[in-house]
């Protein structure tokens, strides 16, 4: 990674979150709260969701951030994240949201993970979450960061906190799933928090 001095700093006070996912908007706003930014979700601006045609988390985050920055004329931050299950060859991976279908039914998506593991007679349940962040400016400049948290998938899902696949993911070293953990603690150890620490050091920290 480049040293922080070689990254572009975010100097303005307005930022667009290039996501229509209410759970991500809530979590990212909480992570950004200490930086006194005026944060507006893409959905609130009526911006369309671009097709995620990238083959990596970074590529999809960059695609979404560029589209929002161009459309809004403001710096835009995009997240692309997903669950990577080792025994499923990395699935659902970049297709994590698509496994939930148009209705964003993550109960069905979690059931599919369990079904495919069971169909393969797979005992190993190691997995990790990946979060890629892309910060784009209207002039086309983009900074990207990627974070991880390792753990295991469990069945049945546990807890009602978080969103997406959180209820079936237990981070390494913890007894509770992301769906059970206190949100403040989850924010401190999550894949998104890992990526945010890098983003803050590179682009948000004040000199």
List the beta strands (DSSP E) in 5-158: 14-17, 38-41, 76-85, 126-136, 142-153
On whether the pTM is more than 0.85, the answer is: yes
Burial class (CB in 10 A: 0-12, 13-18, 19+), 124: exposed
The structural domains of the chain, ordered by start, are: 4-204 (3.90.950.10)
pLDDT tens profile 112-171: 999 999 998 877 799 999 999 999 999 999 999 999 999 999 999 999 998 899 999 999
pLDDT tens profile 164-190: 999 999 999 999 999 999 988 998 999
What is the number of alpha carbons within 13 Å of residue 134 lying toward its C-beta? 25
Active site residues: 80
């Amino acid at each position: 990674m480049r040293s922080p001095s070689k990254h572009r700093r975010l100097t303005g006070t307005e930022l667009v979150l290039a996501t229509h996912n209410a759970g991500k908007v809530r979590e990212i706003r909480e992570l950004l709260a200490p930086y006194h930014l005026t944060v507006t979700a893409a959905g609130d601006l009526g911006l369309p969701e671009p097709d995620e045609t990238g083959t990596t988390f970074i590529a999809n985050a960059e695609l979404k951030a560029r589209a929002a920055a161009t459309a809004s004329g403001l710096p835009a931050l995009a997240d692309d994240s997903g669950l990577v299950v080792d025994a499923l060859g990395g699935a659902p991976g970049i297709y994590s949201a698509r496994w939930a279908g148009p209705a964003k039914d993550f109960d069905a998506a979690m059931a599919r993970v369990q079904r495919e593991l069971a169909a393969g007679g797979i005992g190993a349940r190691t997995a990790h979450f990946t979060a890629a962040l892309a910060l784009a400016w209207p002039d086309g400049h983009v900074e990207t960061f990627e974070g991880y948290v390792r753990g295991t998938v469990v069945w049945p899902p546990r807890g009602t906190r978080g969103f997406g696949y959180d209820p079936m993911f237990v981070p390494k070293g913890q007894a509770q799933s992301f769906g059970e953990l206190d949100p403040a603690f989850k924010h401190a150890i999550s894949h998104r928090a890992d990526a945010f620490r890098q983003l803050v050091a590179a682009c948000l920290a004040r000199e």
